[in-house]
Amino acid sequence: MTLSANNVSVKLGDAEILKGVSCQVEPCRTTAVIGANGSGKSTLLRTLTGEYSPNEGTVLLDGINIASLSPLDQAQHRALMSQNPSIAFDFLVSEIIEMGWVQDSLPHKFLKESLAEVSRLCGIESFLQRAFNGLSGGEQQRVHFARVLLQIWNASHDDTSRYLLLDEPTSNLDMAYELEILKLTKLVSSQGMGALVVLHDLNLAARFADFVYLLVDGRVFCEGTVVEVFTEEVLSETYQVPIRVERHGELNRLLVIAN
Amino acid sequence: MVEEAQNPTDRMSWLKRLGIVSKYSFSTSQAAILVGLVVFLLVTFVLASMTGALWLPLFDIVWNPSSFDIERTIFFQLRMPKVLMAGVVGATLALAGACLQGMFRNPLADPGLLGVASGAALGATSFIVLGGYLPFPNWFEPYGLPVAAAIGATLVTLFLYAFTRRQGRLNLVTLILVGIAINAMGGVGLGLLQYASDDNQLRSLTFWMMGSFGRSTWDAIIPAFFIMAPASYFLLRSVRSLDLLQLGDGEARNLGIDVHRVRKSIVFGVAAIVGAGVAIVGMIGFVGLVVPHIVRLLGGPIHRYVIPASALLGASTLILADLISRTIVVPAELPVGLVTAFIGSPCLLWLLLKTRIHS
């Protein structure tokens, strides 16, 4: 039960962005993808969602090639949170979240229940009936997160696996929201979802990831647990700046500091 | 699962099976608005059927047909097809407008935008001006105008299709720009034809371009219905996709929508509706633009409500506009396009003002 890229190469135009990348998103685990700008992180994510089809290699969703799955089948098992889309019309918050509901075959009752659970989890129950465009950026982000969660919410408690993919979810958030989104991601992954997060901020990756893929120039340069990947040699070489990695005694986690 | 049969969406399961209503129910206020619009449509329909140059006592005609022979003929052969046509054209134009605005994620999109209306207009104008020189058999005469307009609309649609296909995918910016170009070319064509036409033709042209239900006979309605019904069905099917498209193409795709297929069915559905509509009643603006706006102001932008509500309000709006055009200068008739433009343009200005304040 994984979402996996197997030896995947992706060409966009003439440029080969991914060169034989393999990675796995496993249930109950938060996996982070890190790497410098242009290393292929987002492309990898969008290959896993089927937006880009690989020139070589396969993407498997629980063992099935996603090329053979319908868009709806895929949508029911994996969701992508990307940059905040702006909304032209004045939708209510609850209507935006409902857009994530793709479990067509389930009765209405499940939508109501799941919507309530998801919005409680994201702390947005109080403004479900407010206009989405009237919310602050951070609140909007939380609403989108709730929508993405609803998309793969296991409403009927079946035994299929779900995967949550986040593309730099924290890029336009202040620190508090950043932490909140990642804490929520961690929470749902601890309850059984597989999560894959593309992150710029190495300290966030060090804090939240159970497993890390470090991409360099379209290849997996290094993979493993945080302790295995976050070494001064590896990070300094990747980012081409001297980087220090220290363990914070009180917090008991790795801190990454650029010199 | 048996107890689920009680919930509101399951009661609409036949609509669900047709793919028209998704699994969500309407909010109470949206349901109330929809019911209100149905009632409003019925009232305007009855009112418009009775009122005109001659007052038709509708109920007497229905209950006591033998004593109202002339009235009955007028009702069934003249009044009824006109009112029906106004309703059908109004409903489909508003439907097309709502779908385009949703697809373009732009509240100012309009069925005329794609250039299909221009194509239809050019086809019809060509027939008015040049038709006399061509050896058509007599029986073809009444069909000439709608056929020519439909050909114009179809040609533009095929051109749109070929052009956007050549570019690989249906790009929205390209589509709008191509629409602008087609509108400009259509304008040149119309100008040339007007320049080349004689006095009689010019008069006929002018009236047609202002929009009129004068040619709405059963012969015209039935073929139009066969074009509009399947096109409307395709548009009605896309309500949920339209909501998801508001999140952007990428997000809609991630939510399981085949974005290109949805766009295609909307573009061609709108083309068919606008082509058939223009062919029979000429150019009627603003319904497709303003009606969906009013609907959104009343009950919000969710498309499972906006689409049917727009169709209902569009039908009553054009029936009323036609009623005004028939009664305001009795026994003459004002072109209905003038009435919609007279009501519609201040509405548009107000919308623009409001949109600016919003952003």
- For residue B60, give every residue at least 6 positions away whose Cβ sits within 8 Å of its Cβ, in sequence order, or none: B67, B68
pLDDT classification of B157: cutoffs 50, 70, 90: confident
Residue A114 vs residue B9, higher pLDDT: A114
Decide if pLDDT at B283 tops 90.
no
Distance to chain B for A205, nearest Cα, Å: 25
Closest by Cβ to A107, choosing from B7, B251, B257: B7
What is the tens place of the pLDDT at every residue in A159-206? 888 999 998 876 667 788 888 889 999 999 998 899 999 998 899 999
Say whether pLDDT at B11 is over 60: no
Greater pLDDT, B5 or A240: A240
Burial label for A179, CB within 10 Å (0-12, 13-18, 19+), is middle
Amino acid at B320: L
* B356 — pLDDT class (breaks 50, 70, 90): low
Question: How far apart are the CA of B126 and the nearest CA of chain A, in angstroms?
Answer: 39
Share of chain A above pLDDT 90, in %: 64
Whether residue A91 and residue B25 make contact (CB cut-off 8 A), yes or no, is no
Which of A191-205, B164-178, B282-296, B316-330 is predicted least confidently? B164-178
Higher pLDDT, B155 or B67: B155
pLDDT tens, position by position, A143-160: 999 999 999 998 888 888
pLDDT digits (tens, 9 = 90+) for B226-241: 888 888 998 988 888 9
Give me the interface pTM, i.e. the ipTM: 0.86
Sorted by where each begins, the domain ranges of chain B are 29-358
Is B214 a residue whose pLDDT tops 80?
no
Give B160's pLDDT tier (boundaries 50, 70, 90).
confident
Contact assessment for residue B309 and residue B298, using Cβ atoms and an 8 Å cutoff: yes
The verdict on a CB contact (< 8 Å) between B258 and A88 is no
Q: What share of chain A is helix, strand, coil (3-state, %, to 5)?
A: 35, 30, 35
Q: Which residues of B touch A (CB under 8 A)?
A: 1, 4, 7-10, 22-25, 105-107, 243-244, 246-248, 250-251, 253-258, 296, 300-302
| B203 has pLDDT over 90 | no
Confidence category of residue B4, pLDDT binned at 50, 70, 90 = very low
- Asked whether the beta carbons of residue B246 and residue A51 sit closer than 8 angstroms, the reply is no
A143 chain-B contacts, CB cut-off 8 A? none
Q: Do the chains contact at B107 and A90, CB–CB below 8 Å?
A: no
Which CATH class for the B29-358 domain?
Answer: mainly alpha
- pLDDT tens-digit series, residues B297-352: 888 999 999 999 999 999 999 999 999 988 888 777 888 888 888 888 888 788 77
Q: Which domains does chain A have, with CATH numbers?
A: 1-77+160-230 (3.40.50.300), 86-158 (no CATH)
Lookup result for tokens 């987002």: A42
